[in-house]
C-alpha cells in the first residue's frame, strides 16, 4: 500500500500538475495581454478620430 502512494508514477504526476499550472498561468497572461492590445487599439482609434474631426485644432502628443 505504501508503494502505491509513492510509486514510480509520483514524479510523473507532480510534473503533470506543475505543467497544468504553468499552462493555466500562460493562458491567463495571454488573455491579459490581448485585453491590453485591444485597449491600445481603441485608444489609438479614438485619437485618430479626434484628429480627423478637428484637424489642427487639438494638439495630441502620443
**Could you tell me the pLDDT band of residue 1, with boundaries at 50, 70 and 90?**
very low
**Rounded CA separation 29/10 (Å):** 29
C-alpha cell at 4: 502505491
Cβ-contact 62, 47 below 8 angstroms: yes
Q: What is the pLDDT of residues 3-45, one digit of tens each?
A: 455 555 667 899 999 999 999 999 999 999 999 999 999 999 9
**Rounded CA separation 32/39 (Å):** 11
Q: What's the whole-model pTM score? A: 0.60
Contacts of 34 (CB under 8 A, 6+ apart): none
Contacts of 50 (CB under 8 A, 6+ apart): 58, 60
Amino acid at each position: 500500500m505504501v508503494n502505491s502512494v509513492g510509486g514510480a508514477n509520483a514524479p510523473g504526476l507532480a510534473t503533470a500538475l506543475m505543467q497544468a499550472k504553468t499552462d493555466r498561468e500562460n493562458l491567463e497572461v495571454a488573455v491579459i495581454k490581448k485585453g491590453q492590445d485591444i485597449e491600445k487599439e481603441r485608444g489609438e482609434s479614438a485619437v485618430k478620430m479626434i484628429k480627423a474631426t478637428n484637424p489642427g485644432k487639438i494638439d495630441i502628443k502620443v
